[in-house]
Structure 1
Amino acid sequence: MTGIQPELWVGRAAEAIAFYEAAFGARVLHQVGEGDDIVAQLAVGDAAFWVSPGGACGPRFSPQAIGGTTGRTLLVADEPDAMFAQAVAAGATAASEMANEHGWRLGRIFDPFGHEWEIGRPLGPWPPA
């Protein structure tokens, strides 16, 4: 099996897990630790990612610790407008509203922990011919 499962470093792991559950309907696949000393594997649909405390095992910094972010995560959803609205209702900040661009229906948010997310779906067959 081959796949990519990003790990998001956060300052408040327990709150982050609760946010991703509320915002994206994430479910916890695996979790060790407690409080903010948690490492957890979450899934949204078939897509898995990890949440862990920044700085727990060396120089790992949350976006809040560095005052910015070094990347963006694309969350592909069947109903991106609904997921975008759900994420904002759960506490995310809209960076750009949902719109059709580059062959996708897309919107961008920042989660309460500083991570940038793009929520969308292709408007037609992907990748294009």
Structure 2
Amino acid sequence: MTDLIPYLAARDAAAAIAFYVDAFGATEVARWTEPGTGKIGHAELEIGGRRMFLADEWPEGGVLAPQDGAGTPVSLVLDVDDVDAVFTRAVELGARVERPVTDAHGDRGGWLFDPAGHRWSIVTSGRELNRAELQEQIGTAYEIT
């Protein structure tokens, strides 16, 4: 079996875990805490049956959390049953809206940054469009191959 597991760094991993539990319904599976400092060296969460890992940033080891307002090159996609409810709850818990929830390409979704600075696309998958339908929706902005 092959699996792809995102491993995130946060300035305050405990707060990030609490956010993911409250906003996305994550379940904390494991937490390794450094004695004396309380820093989280490794945590495992499960969202919708999928694992993700998380730790406090460790600058001396090159493990850095997103910097405030600097964006991030990585986006996580969370497909949920009710995008409007999950998105609203995340914003109420401190997420920052990048793009509000809209309908596009057969799906309904929006983009946000969680309080730790990670970008999430929260979506409810809709009807899968064939290539012709999708090309018609996006027009000449992209050519689908």
TM over 0.5: yes
1:123 aligns with 126
TM-score (norm 1): 0.88
Q: Which is higher, the Rg of structure 1 or of structure 2?
A: 2
Partner Cα distance (2:59, 2:2) in 1:
27
Partner Cα distance (1:27, 1:17) in 2:
9
Unaligned segments of structure 1, at least 5 residues:
none
2:48 aligns with 45
Residues matched between the structures, number: 128
Partner Cα distance (1:6, 1:72) in 2:
10
TM-score (norm 2): 0.79
Partner Cα distance (1:54, 1:113) in 2:
11
Determine what percentage of the aligned residue pairs are the same residue: 35
Q: Which has the higher strand share?
A: 1
Higher relative contact order (CA 8 A, sep 6+): 1
Kindly report structure 1 stretches of 4+ aligned residues shifted beyond 2 Å.
34-38, 65-68
- Check the 8 A contact 1:76/1:121 in 2, yes or no: yes
Unaligned segments of structure 2, at least 5 residues:
132-145
Instruction: State the secondary structure of the residue aligned to 2:8.
Output: strand
2:136 aligns with none
Partner Cα distance (2:41, 2:59) in 1:
10
